[in-house]
Amino acid sequence: MKDAKLVAKAHANHTSEIVITPTVTVGGQQLFIVGGPCAIESMAQMETIAQAHLPIQGLRGGIYKPRTSPYAFQGLGEVGLDILSAIRQRYGLPVVTEVMAIHQIEKLLPHADVLQVGSRNMQNFDLLKALGEIDKPVLLKRGLAATVAEFVMAAEYIASHGNPNIILCERGIRSFDSYTRNVLDLGAVVALKQITHLPVLVDPSHATGKRELVAGLARGAIAAGADGLMIECHPEPEQSVSDARQTLSLEAMAELVHSLIPIAQAVNRSIPSPVMS
Ligand code: PEP
Ligand code: MN
């Protein structure tokens, strides 16, 4: 990766720990596990998730949704932002939400702890440059057909415009087999940990598209050295307005995290207790 200057590892032990809040970091010894619905649907949905006291360190939920069809649910927009903001204040859990366009950055900044760049925007260079101007952490998801080198250089765009707080996320890439929605590239996770000093998360939900495959790949990702996970869960997964087929129940989500404990220990990592007050 000869052109990567700022995100490239300077030496073998060079790793960056990104500060999400004063008590939550990613890239250190502790894993960072983010859970929540694909899209924020209602206050009741988010209250139920928050009150479940899941063993997670971050809550996700899209309010601006990049959908394949323009006729599909596009997210609640600003109404969703009010819900996200209320839940964040009430329960003290850091929130991660997707930013699709430059003009949304300003709206999201006061209410989100991490701004996510979705797969479809990984090479939206103007958006990446604009996110380089802020100092909040950016969670950059791998493009659905992006090479590892393109992924690293997308992160370099953000870093070179001034924001070093970047978290990478492998979410599966397109391949010939439609059995799974995408193909989870764990090789890329190991490679990214060797090439860059940035934390690397894995999203087994979008990688597989099937809820019964999520836990196994989540365990594999932690064993492979990922710094955390992003997983979709919902109080009524079958009723999710988007990505229902890959969404876990809250019970399955909690069970999954517990099943990671011995795997985390085996690779000298630990799972922090939930952050919620
Ligand atoms: C998401 O995380 O909500 C999402 C849309 O994922 P991706 O960009 O990886 O498809
Ligand atoms: Mn989704």
Give the tens place of pLDDT for each residue, 203-232.
Answer: 999 999 999 999 999 999 999 999 999 999
- 168, 1 contact by CB (below 8 A): no
Report the distance separating Cα 146 and Cα 115, nearest Å.
20
Which whole number is the average pLDDT over 34-50?
Answer: 98
Report the distance separating Cα 14 and Cα 25, nearest Å.
16
CA of 240 to the centre of ligand 2 (A): 10
Give the tens place of pLDDT for each residue, 111-156.
Answer: 999 999 999 999 999 999 999 999 999 999 999 999 999 999 999 9
Nearest to 62 by CA among 120, 149, 10, 131: 120
Instruction: Please say if the pLDDT value at position 170 is more than 80.
Output: yes
The answer to whether the pTM exceeds 0.95 is yes
CA of 274 to the centre of ligand 2 (A): 23
Instruction: Please identify, by atom number, the ligand 1 atom nearest to the C-alpha of residue 171.
Output: 9
Q: Mutation test of ligand 1: which of 99, 116, 234 has the most ligand atoms closer than 8 Å to its C-beta?
A: 116
Report the distance separating Cα 28 and Cα 42, nearest Å.
34
| Exposure letters 176-189 (e unless 16+ CB within 10 A, then b) | eeeebbbebbbebb
CA of 171 to the centre of ligand 1 (A): 8
Instruction: Please identify, by atom number, the ligand 1 atom nearest to the C-alpha of residue 230.
Output: 2
Give the tens place of pLDDT for each residue, 231-275.
Answer: 999 999 999 999 999 999 999 999 999 999 999 999 999 999 876
Instruction: Please say if the pLDDT value at position 4 is more than 90.
Output: yes
Out of 2.40.180.10, 3.40.50.10680, 3.20.20.80, 3.20.20.70, which CATH number does the structure's domain 18-265 have?
Answer: 3.20.20.70
pLDDT at site 275: 63
